[in-house]
Amino acid sequence: MGALKGHCTRQADMGKPVFAYLLLKEHPYGREMLSQILSEGFVPAIIISEDSAIGDEEREKFLKRIEGLRVAPTIESQLEELSNSGINVIHKTVSIHNSEQVMPMIQDMDLDLIVFGGTRIIRGEILDYPKFGVINSHPGLLPDCRGSASPAWSVYHDIPIGSTTHFCDNGVDTGDILLRRELAVQRGMTYEDLCHATLVLSGILMKEALMEWTKGRWEEIRYKQGDSVWPTFRNAPDDVLEVVQQKLENEEYEHYVD
C-alpha cells in the first residue's frame, strides 16, 4: 500500500500534509469530516467529489439514518468560506472514484496523503500514489465491524460501537489502524443517534490522526488489525433494522455505559 513508501520517514518537520480529499458528492459523512479537519487548519490541496447515481442513493440513505440531527455545512459553503478568507481549494468532480478518472487529477501533485471522506470501495493505483498512504475513518470498531451499516450490525450482534481511522489497502476495512475509539452508548439513544455519533467521531479521529502526522507519530501509533470472528457486513436489511430498533427501545443492547 502507499504508506510503505514513507514507512521509515519521519514527518515531524514537514508541517501540515499535502493531501487530496475524496468523497461522495455532498455526503453528510464527508461534509462533517471536512468541517472537522478544517477546524485544525488541515486544508486539502484538492477535493474530488463523486457525482453518481449510487452516490446520490448513498447520500439520501445516510440522511435518513441521521434524520432530525445536525448536518455539517455543505462542501460548497465550506469552500466558499475558505475562499472568503483568501484560501482557494481545487474542487473537481468525477463520475466514479477510480484510477482512470482520479489519477490524471493528482499525478502531478506531490501528495503526502489521500484522505477518504466517505467513498465507495476504492482499489488499485490510487492507494499506491501518496508518499504516506491513504487513510479513511470508518464508523465502526475494526476489525470486528467491517463493511456497511456498522452501528446497526453492532447493536444486532452486541458488538461495542465506535469509530476507527485506518490505512486503506485492497481489502475492505482491513488496513493498519491509527486511532480507534469506543462510543459511550447511553440508554435512550436511538439508531439515528448512534449513526450520527459515529459520524462525528469518525471526523474527530481523522482530525486527530492528521494532528499525529504533524508530530511524526504515525509509526508509533500504527498497528495491524488482526482477525475478526465476524464477517464483512453489507447494508442491513429491514428485518435487521427492526431488531435493532426494538433492542434500543427495550434497552437490551449489551454495551450501555449507564
Grid cell, residue 82, equals 475558505
CATH number belonging to the domain at 2-7+14-249, selected among 1.25.40.10, 3.40.50.720, 3.40.50.12230, 1.10.760.10:
3.40.50.12230
Q: Which amino acid is at 215?
A: K
Question: For position 13, what pLDDT does the model report?
Answer: 56
Residue type, 170: N
Residues in CB range of 108: below 8 A, 6 or more apart:
none
Give residue 19's pLDDT: 98
Sheet holding 46-50, edge to edge: 90-94, 46-50, 19-24, 113-116, 134-138, 162-167, 177-182
pLDDT, residue 14, reads: 63
pLDDT in tens, the chain (258 residues): 333 333 334 444 569 999 999 999 999 999 999 999 999 999 999 999 999 999 999 999 999 999 999 999 999 999 999 999 999 999 999 999 999 999 999 999 999 999 999 999 999 999 999 999 999 999 999 999 999 999 999 999 999 999 999 999 999 999 999 999 999 999 999 999 999 999 999 999 999 999 999 999 999 999 999 999 999 999 999 999 999 999 999 999 999 999
Residue 134, SS3 per DSSP: strand
Q: 81: which 3 cell numbers?
A: 468560506
pLDDT at 130: 98
Of the chain, the end-to-end C-alpha distance in Å amounts to: 41
